[in-house]
Amino acid sequence: MCLAIPVRIVELEGDKAVVDAMGNRWRAKTTLLPEAKLGDLVLVHAGFAISLVDEKEAKETWQFLAEIANFEETPNKVSG
């Protein structure tokens, strides 16, 4: 449950962001990471950006998530 997802901020207005991970887009907030800017890669957990992250780390985590995807059987699971 404490897994955060790396995403790119593709829209940002105040602390309201639209983020993108592997083509999926959703809303998130940057309240907990005020330094986040448009275009930054960030880790998002339960709808909130919690840390900046670099390109290499983001790619590794996306790969890891794709690998464990078949383990997640609980419907509507929050991996955030």
Partner 1 sequence: MLERIYKAQQLMNEACKTLGRQINIMEVCGTHTVSIFRNGIRSILPKKLKLLSGPGCPVCVTSQGYIDIVLQLAERDDVLIATYGDMIRVPGKGGSLETKQASANVKVVLSSEDALQLAKDNPEKKVVFVAVGFETTAPATAVVVKEAAAESVENFCILSGHKLVVPAMRALVSEKNHNIDAFLCPGHVSVIIGYRSYAEIAERFGRPCVVAGFEPMQIIEGLAEICRQLAVGKAELQSVYTAVVTEQGNTTAQKIIAECFEPADGYWRGLGKIEKSTLKLKDKYSRFDAFKKFDITETPGEDASGCRCGEVLCGLIGPTDCGLFGKSCTPETPIGPCMVSSEGVCAAWFKYGPEERRER
Contacts to partner 1 by CB under 8 A: 1-4, 26-29, 31-34, 43, 45-48, 50-54, 56-57, 60-61, 63-64, 67-68, 71-78, 80
Nearest distance in Å: CB 21, partner 1: 13
Min CB(38)–partner 1 separation in Å: 19
Q: Is 58 helix (H, G, I), strand (E, B) or coil?
A: helix
CB-nearer residue toward partner 1: 10 or 68: 68
Nearer to partner 1, 23 or 74 (CB): 74
Instruction: Report the candidate in 46, 20, 18, 15 with the shortest Cα–Cα distance to residue 33.
Output: 15
Strands (E), 1-80: 5-13, 16-21, 24-29, 41-45, 48-52
CB of 70 to partner 1, least distance (A): 9
Tell me the pairing of strands 16-21 and 48-52.
unpaired
